[in-house]
Structure 1
Amino acid sequence: METDSRKPILIAGAGLASLLLAQSLLRNNIPFLVFERDADVSFRAQGYRLRLSKECLDAVEATLSPDHWQLFWDTCGKTAGVGFAALNAITGEDVTEARKYEGTPMQKRDEEAKGGKMDLASRDGKVVGIARGEMRELFMRGCGDRIKWSHHVTGYELTESGVRATFADGSKSEEGEMLVGGEGIYSKVAKQVSNGKIKTYDTGARGIHGKASTSAFRDLGEGVWRVVDERVPGGKVFLITNVRAKDMDDPTIEFGWTMGAQPGVIEPPGNDYSIIGKQAADIAKSLAKDWHPRFKPLFDNMVESEAAFWKITCSTPSGVPDWPNQSRVTVIGDAAHSMTPAGGIGANTAVRDSALLGRLLGESGGYAKDVTEQYEKVMKVYASEAVASSYGMATMQFGVRIDENTPTV
């Protein structure tokens, strides 16, 4: 059967997981369409810098073409050293040893203690990272004409021989062989296919993303840094950033940082998370006004237009729930398993989803009746482990707790 005679794989959302899946389909000559609710790629702030795990890098390398992978690898920053260096926000002192295993599950803590270090390096002894926006643009290469912007997927309907996505304006997509929900924590596809079993909880913890020119980071120097302030009324505030030595002398390059806090400390005006820019920047500056001088440039030199609020959410801590398999519909990434930023494993796990589902679809030449079942069986195991680990660390780092009274998003 000719490839272009087949109905496309429909993908809801144009985030990292969806676009990497699209790359896999592109390489395997499997037709697809991506539906994204935003008007274009620059519609919203792209978020903070991601630390890529060994598993994530392996998944990306296995999915992209050799040339595309090399471009991706060359774009990634490589930071020397391993582990977070923890700094006291007020004194500027290094408190790494005192906080070395904060929030780490006991078994992992014991194993890492025997080795003498907590190693975040993923390749060549370096911490590998990339800005979320850069990663998204790289995954979008070659897919532009198959992305349908301003298409907000709100569900689906099964047909005799396929599936159609339904949109917020009441219209429907063309018929596809299969639908993959990758539209994040608010996924309507996830709610529908799991009959409401997939839940994303609002932990109450909040954060702000920020950016500044490399010159603002000189007093920190190369490394992966976690700055902690425990004096804030109502809870702890922290800031995480990754400073790469080779970019330090290029004023055109900006480094990102992300600030987070325990529930009740950071709230956007009117609880509106679409607000970006100066309002978010001003709140970050107010929280850090008494911090040590070595951290001041991060806020004094902020690119205020890039500041954005973020909400810390988490799926059911016990893991990805079971639901009756639907052969033509499944979910990936945050739509299936939202995680707190603790441990930095959310995006890494989402990429593993894309690589796994993409490989299965490639092996079958497109939709096959057992593909979603095979994918979900494997995904639910590693993703459940990741959610549990992320939540366990977040209870220590952010003071969050999820129970039957916790609101969902």
Structure 2
Amino acid sequence: MSHSKPILISGAGIASLLLAQSLRLSNIPFRIFERDASFIFRAQGYRLRLSSEGLDAIESVLDANAYRRFWDTCGKTGGLGFASYNAVTGELIEQSVTHPSLASRQGGGKTIGISRGDMRRLFADGCEDHIEWGRHVTGYELTGDGVRATFADGTKSVEGSMLIGGEGIYSKVAKQLSGGKLKVYDTGARGIHGQAPTTAFKGLGEGVFRLADNTRPEGGVFLITNVRPGDMHDPNMSFGWTMAGHPGVIRPPNDDHTIIGRTAADLAKSLTKDWHPRFKPMFDEMNTSEAAFWKITCSTPSGVPEWANEPRVTVIGDAAHSMTPAGGIGANTAVRDSALLGRLLRKAGGYAEGVTAAYEKEMRVYASEAVHESYSNATKQFGILIDEETSLTV
């Protein structure tokens, strides 16, 4: 790599790591600052579904061998395609094939999915020596011809040519850059992640399944899971499921969504005690230690706001546009950010005046559309409502 000032990246999520791959392949120096001690410090969340837009973005960044490894790691689920069931009666509500935008790809007609942990591991390949662990970025300061990240312990980073905030919904970089205009709202809805052995899913068969329970007067609960054929008969493999409920239905003690283990598992079992026998093994056989609560958030539904452009600082991924899980849009939009910004930096040879402005102008268009779609889906699926004037932010 060249000896110019590195591009600084806050956070080691999927958007940050894919951007790092783009910079590495463009021979542009970079440093990544991650608050956690390692990739396995925290649970990696639910399985991500990828659209044609997301796959195109990833393929445009990775070299051919790296993309092949990524593609081979992805699960390609066919079977019923996407099927929705009444969780209590077991009745089929809706069935549809995979989105036609994937039909032209290898394995077309299937749902493409990958765990967040696998995605981070693959995107980190070759970038590990450029990651500084245990570095919690709390802001930045501009220098005469660069920028430094500031850390929670009071220290500062090396001087960089740019700083990219990719540290998620609690991004301090996003808050400072936008003057508070970038907001993430607490929708009031909560969810639970869980895992169980593949044997617990045999009653479903292959496919992506949504189970809906609207029997509660306080609001509905739904669950998404992805049963992949290649892993169905592996006794050492587990499948995951993601449950979400209307605001107030899933209540972690003291609203502490960081709780993991038995408390979350027991609540999931209680919520599903009247579900159809076909679905019960997912909870009866679940790995109790892996159960975890999560908070459902969303950026400003009306779109990504505008802020005064700073040529040396910008944001990507959830730091720029947090989304609900409805529709599985968030990860696809995040990798589009990485591909776009990486392409602009490669063309410029690194930092240049106008790069962040060009990136933000294009990003606002597709990201605003994505946030609106995600929010609209969530209002229908689990009854959230964000008033941009009065709703609480995280």
Query: Do the aligned residues in 1 keep the contact of 2:80 with 2:206 (CA within 8 Å)?
Result: no
* Alignment correspondent of 2:39: 41
Determine which of 148, 152, 157 is the counterpart of 1:173.
Answer: 157
* Alignment correspondent of 1:309: 293
Pair 1:272-2:256 in alignment:
yes
Structure 1 alignment gaps of length 5 or more:
101-116
* Alignment correspondent of 1:250: 234
How far the C-alpha of 1:83 sits from its partner, in A, is 5.2
* AA aligned opposite 2:2: D
* Alignment correspondent of 1:396: 380
* AA aligned opposite 2:226: N
1:125-181 Cα distance to aligned partner (Å, 9 max, x none): 111001111111111111111111111101000000100000111111010000000
Q: Secondary structure at the match of 2:362?
A: helix
Query: Do the aligned residues in 2 keep the contact of 1:333 with 1:350 (CA within 8 Å)?
Result: yes
How far the C-alpha of 1:247 sits from its partner, in A, is 1.5
How far the C-alpha of 1:213 sits from its partner, in A, is 1.4
* Alignment correspondent of 2:277: 293
Cα distance in 2 for residues equivalent to 1:133 and 1:232:
34
1:232-284 Cα distance to aligned partner (Å, 9 max, x none): 24110000011112221111221111000000011222222221122211111
* Alignment correspondent of 1:67: 65
* AA aligned opposite 2:390: N
How far the C-alpha of 1:231 sits from its partner, in A, is 1.4
How far the C-alpha of 1:9 sits from its partner, in A, is 0.5
Deviating more after overlay: 76-85 vs 240-249: 76-85
* Alignment correspondent of 1:364: 348
Query: Do the aligned residues in 2 keep the contact of 1:191 with 1:197 (CA within 8 Å)?
Result: yes
* AA aligned opposite 2:353: K
Pair 1:407-2:387 in alignment:
no
Pair 1:330-2:310 in alignment:
no
Cα distance in 1 for residues equivalent to 2:44 and 2:261:
13
Q: Secondary structure at the match of 1:310?
A: strand
* AA aligned opposite 2:303: G
Determine which of 71, 86, 93 is the counterpart of 1:95.
Answer: 93
Query: Do the aligned residues in 2 keep the contact of 1:233 with 1:265 (CA within 8 Å)?
Result: no
Query: Do the aligned residues in 2 keep the contact of 1:121 with 1:128 (CA within 8 Å)?
Result: no
* AA aligned opposite 2:99: D
Q: Secondary structure at the match of 2:159?
A: coil
Determine which of 24, 29, 54 is the counterpart of 1:26.
Answer: 24
* Alignment correspondent of 2:136: 152
How far the C-alpha of 1:324 sits from its partner, in A, is 1.0
Determine which of 229, 237, 240 is the counterpart of 2:221.
Answer: 237
How far the C-alpha of 1:4 sits from its partner, in A, is 3.2
TM-score, L = length of structure 2: 0.96
Query: Do the aligned residues in 2 keep the contact of 1:82 with 1:126 (CA within 8 Å)?
Result: no
Q: Secondary structure at the match of 2:28?
A: coil
1:36-79 Cα distance to aligned partner (Å, 9 max, x none): 11111111110111110000001111101111100000000001
From the superposition, tell whether residues 82 and 26 of structure 1 become closer, same or farther in structure 2 (CA, over 3 Å): farther
Identity, % of aligned positions: 68
From the superposition, tell whether residues 292 and 82 of structure 1 become closer, same or farther in structure 2 (CA, over 3 Å): closer
Query: Do the aligned residues in 1 keep the contact of 2:59 with 2:67 (CA within 8 Å)?
Result: yes
How far the C-alpha of 1:405 sits from its partner, in A, is 1.4
Q: Pairwise CA RMSD of aligned residues?
A: 1.3
1:63-106 Cα distance to aligned partner (Å, 9 max, x none): 01111100000000001157531111111111116xx8xxxxxx
* AA aligned opposite 2:312: R
Cα distance in 2 for residues equivalent to 1:121 and 1:280:
36
Deviating more after overlay: 305-314 vs 186-195: 305-314
1:271-315 Cα distance to aligned partner (Å, 9 max, x none): 222211222111111111111111111111112222111111111
Q: Secondary structure at the match of 1:327?
A: coil
* Alignment correspondent of 1:109: none
Cα distance in 1 for residues equivalent to 2:195 and 2:55:
25
1:328-360 Cα distance to aligned partner (Å, 9 max, x none): 000000000011111110111001000100111
Matches within 5 A, 1:141-220: 141-220=125-204
* AA aligned opposite 1:21: L
From the superposition, tell whether residues 310 and 84 of structure 1 become closer, same or farther in structure 2 (CA, over 3 Å): same
Query: Do the aligned residues in 2 keep the contact of 1:20 with 1:63 (CA within 8 Å)?
Result: yes
Cα distance in 1 for residues equivalent to 2:24 and 2:228:
33
From the superposition, tell whether residues 121 and 207 of structure 1 become closer, same or farther in structure 2 (CA, over 3 Å): farther
Determine which of 66, 82, 85 is the counterpart of 1:84.
Answer: 82
* AA aligned opposite 1:128: I
* AA aligned opposite 1:235: G
* AA aligned opposite 1:320: V
* Alignment correspondent of 1:321: 305
Cα distance in 1 for residues equivalent to 2:239 and 2:230:
12
* AA aligned opposite 2:131: I
* Alignment correspondent of 1:133: 117
Cα distance in 1 for residues equivalent to 2:144 and 2:279:
60
